[in-house]
Structure 1
Amino acid sequence: MLKLTENKREALKRLSDENGIIGALAIDQRGSLKKMISSASTIDIGDNGIIDFKKMVSKELTKYASAILLDPEYGLPAAGVRDVHAGLLLAYEKTGYDATVPGRLPDLLDEWSVKRLKEAGADAVKFLLYYDVDEDAAINNIKHAFVERLGSECVAEDIPFFLELVSYDAKNEDVKGVEYAKVKPHKVNDMMREFSKPRYQVDVLKVEVPVNMNYVEGFSAGEVIYTIEQAKQYFKEQSDATDLPYIYLSAGVSAELFRETLEFAASAGAEFNGVLCGRATWKNGVQPFAELGDEAGCHWMQSEGKKNITDLNEVLRKTAKPWFTKAEKWCQAPLVDK
C-alpha cells in the first residue's frame, strides 16, 4: 500500500487530472531525439534545435496533458512554457548507458541532485533503470543499492519518486524478436515485483506492458507467441505484482497500437493508473519540424499531435484507475479541480 506524506500527495495531485489519472507527456529523450532530428534535417540544427522542439511540444500539447516529463539538460526552457495546469517531472538519469561494461549500470546527471531538481520546479523525480531479473546477482545487487539511495534521497526531499523500469536480456540484444517475446512476461513482471518492495521507497512505477503486442493473437501480422487469453493473464499478473500505482510507457509504438494496448490491458483486469507517453504522441512531428521549420512543426502539433493526445485521454478515461485507490485511506479525499 502506498504511503504518502501530505507534500507527496499534493504533488501527485498536480501530476494527475481531476479524477486521479496520470495522463502525462514524456519528452525527456536526449541522444535518441538528437538522432531523430538530425536524420530528418538537411542541416545541423544543434542543441538549440532539440531545445526548440521540446519547447514546441510542451507549449502545444501540455494543454491536454496532466503533466510533462522533461530532462534538466535540454528541457528546462520547455518547462517554462508548459500549460499552467500541467505538473512537472524531471529526469535524474544520464541518457543511455555505457556499453563497454556489462550490466547497463545506472548513472546520475553529474550536476544535479533531487534537491536541485525540486528547486528547479519538479513535482516529482523520475529515474530510468535497465534491469534483467536473470542477470548476474552481483550486477543486480549494485542496481538494488542504487535505487535504495535514490528512494532515500527523494524521501529526504519529500518528493515523489517515479521509477521507470526497462527490461532486457543480457544474453539477447534483440528485444523485439521472437525469443525475447517468449521471456518478456517473466522479465517485466518479476522486475515490477522486486521494485515494489518498501525498501526502495518508490511511489509510482513507470513500466512496459508485459508482452510484445506484435506477437499477440489478433494483433500479429505474422507469428503468434501469445494467445489472447495468455496475453490477458500476463497483464493481470503484472497488475497483481504490485501494490503501487503504475503507469505505462509507450515504448515507441504507434499511437493507435498504444491505445489498443491500454484497452486490452483493461479488459484483462489490469488496474493501471495512467501513462507517461512519449514518442507515440509526438514522434511523427519531428520530420515536419526538422525539414520545414517551426511553423510546420507547430501545425503538426496543433493537428495530429493534439489528436493523438486527446484520443489517448479518451481511452484513459475508460480504462485507467485513480492512483489514490492504491494509497492509504487518509489520502483518498476528493481531488481539487486542476
Structure 2
Amino acid sequence: MAKLTEKKMELMKKLSNSNGVISALAIDQRGSLKKMMANSGRENVEEALEAFKVHISKELTPYSSSILLDPEYGWKAAEERDANSGLLVAYEETGYDASEPGRLPDLLPLWSAKRLKEKGADGVKFLLYYDIDESAEINEQKHAFVERIGSECVAEDIPFYLEILSYDAKNDDVKSEAYAKVKPRKVIEAMKVFSDDRFNVDVLKVEVPVNMAFVDGYTDGPVVYTKEEAASYFKQQSDVSDIPFIFLSAGVSAELFQETLLFAKEAGSTFNGVLCGRATWKDSVNVFAEHGSEKTVEWLQSQGRKNIEELNAVIDKTATPWWNQKVTI
C-alpha cells in the first residue's frame, strides 16, 4: 500500500470516525442518478441532480464519517456537509463506452488530484471496472492508468481510494446465476492485483465476494453457495490484502446490506467500514421527483436517518479500525 505520511494519516482520520472505521456516504452517482430522475418524471434533470445531492449531504452527513461526491454536480453539496464529515471526491468519468471492449476508464478532463485537493477534497476516489480474466492487452492499460493516479496522489500527499467493480467480459449479466459462480474469483483476484505497492492505493472500495441472493438461507431461488462456502470466500477476500478495505452496497436494500455485514463479520472478515450509497437514500429519489424538496427533507430526516443509523449500529459491531491493517508510515 501507499506510505502513509503524516499528512495522509491526518486526512485518513478525517475520512473515518474516532474508532478508525470508515462510515462513508456515497452520492457521486451521475449517469445512473440522472436516469432515476428522468424515469421519475423530473424536469431540468441537471439542476435537480445538484439540488438532490445538497439535500443528501445536509441531512445525512451528521451521521457519516465522510461523503463521496463528484466534481460535476457535488460542490454545493460539499459546502453543505456537516463540519465533522470528511470529503472524498470522484475523479473518473461516469460510466464507460459500451461500444468498445474492455470498459476502459477515463478521467474528468478538467480535474486532477491537485485541483481536487485545492478545492477541498480529503481523498481522491477512482472507479475501475476490472475482469481478472480479460486480455493482458486491456488489463495492462488499466494497470498503467491506476499507476498514474496513484502517483498523482503520492505527489499531492492525499489518500487514494480505488473502487473496483468486477465483471465478466463474456457475460454482461452480473446478477445472473452464471456470474455468481465466478464472482468470488473475480473480486478476490482483483483485490490481490491492486494491493501491490506499485499502485499506491490507500483504501480499496470493493464488492462483497459473493452474490447474497444465491446464498443458502438468503434466497428462495437457486443456491450457488452454501453458507460455509460463502463464509470461506469472505475470509479469503479479507486475507488476500493488507490494504484497508471497505464494502460498497451495490444498490441492494438497506436490510440485506446490514445482514451481509453481519455475515462478513461472522466469517472472519476484517473489513474497515463501508461506502454506502443507494441502500441509504435510493427511495428518496421518487419522493424528490414527485413531491419536491420539502417532502424529500422529511423523508431524509426520518427514513434516511433511520437507514444510516441502523447501518452505523451494524458497522460498530462488525468493522475493524483501518489502522489495524499493516499500514506503513
Scaled by the length of structure 1, what TM-score is found?
A: 0.96
Give the letter aligned to residue 173 of structure 1. D
Q: Which residue of 1 aligns with 2:39?
A: 39
Number of residues of Structure 1 aligned to a counterpart in Structure 2: 329
Q: Which residue of 2 aligns with 1:335?
A: none
Give the letter aligned to residue 8 of structure 1. K
Q: Is the 8 Å Cα contact of residues 2 and 243 (structure 1) preserved in structure 2?
A: no
Q: Which residue of 2 aligns with 1:333?
A: none
Q: Quick one: structure 1 residues 101 and 328, their matched pair in 2 at CA, closer, same or farther if it must change by over 3 Å?
A: closer
Give the letter aligned to residue 123 of structure 2. A
Taking the aligned partners of 1:122 and 1:327, their CA distance within structure 2 comes to: 25
Q: Which residue of 1 aligns with 2:28?
A: 28
Q: Write the mapping of 1:12-23 to structure 2, written as runs, cut at 5 A.
A: 12-23=12-23
Return the offset for 1:199. Answer: 0.5
Q: Does 1:230 align with 2:229?
A: yes
Q: Is the 8 Å Cα contact of residues 11 and 158 (structure 2) preserved in structure 1?
A: yes
List per-residue Cα deviations over 1:188-245 (Å, max 9, x = no partner): 0000000000000000000000000000010011110000000000000000110000
Q: Which residue of 1 aligns with 2:313?
A: 314
Taking the aligned partners of 2:235 and 2:283, their CA distance within structure 1 comes to: 32
Q: Does 1:56 align with 2:69?
A: no
Give the letter aligned to residue 176 of structure 1. K
List per-residue Cα deviations over 1:286-305 (Å, max 9, x = no partner): 11111000001001100000
Q: Quick one: structure 1 residues 329 and 170, their matched pair in 2 at CA, closer, same or farther if it must change by over 3 Å?
A: closer
Taking the aligned partners of 1:9 and 1:317, their CA distance within structure 2 comes to: 21
Return the offset for 1:18. Answer: 0.6
Q: Is the 8 Å Cα contact of residues 92 and 112 (structure 1) preserved in structure 2?
A: yes
Give the letter aligned to residue 239 of structure 1. S
List per-residue Cα deviations over 1:35-86 (Å, max 9, x = no partner): 1111112x41321100000000000000100000000000011000000000
Q: Does 1:103 align with 2:102?
A: yes
Taking the aligned partners of 1:46 and 1:250, their CA distance within structure 2 comes to: 25
Taking the aligned partners of 1:176 and 1:139, their CA distance within structure 2 comes to: 23
Unaligned runs of 5+ in 1: 331-338
Q: Partner of 2:99: helix, strand, or coil?
A: coil
Unaligned runs of 5+ in 2: none
Q: Partner of 1:63: helix, strand, or coil?
A: helix
Q: Is the 8 Å Cα contact of residues 67 and 88 (structure 1) preserved in structure 2?
A: yes
Give the letter aligned to residue 130 of structure 1. Y
Q: Which residue of 2 aligns with 1:334?
A: none
Q: Which residue of 1 aligns with 2:286?
A: 287
Return the offset for 1:137. Answer: 0.8
Taking the aligned partners of 1:100 and 1:259, their CA distance within structure 2 comes to: 36
Q: Which residue of 1 aligns with 2:144?
A: 145
Q: Does 1:125 align with 2:117?
A: no
Give the letter aligned to residue 174 of structure 1. D
Q: Write the mapping of 1:208-223 to structure 2, written as runs, cut at 5 A.
A: 208-223=207-222
Q: Which residue of 1 aligns with 2:10?
A: 10
Give the letter aligned to residue 254 of structure 2. A
Q: Partner of 1:187: helix, strand, or coil?
A: helix
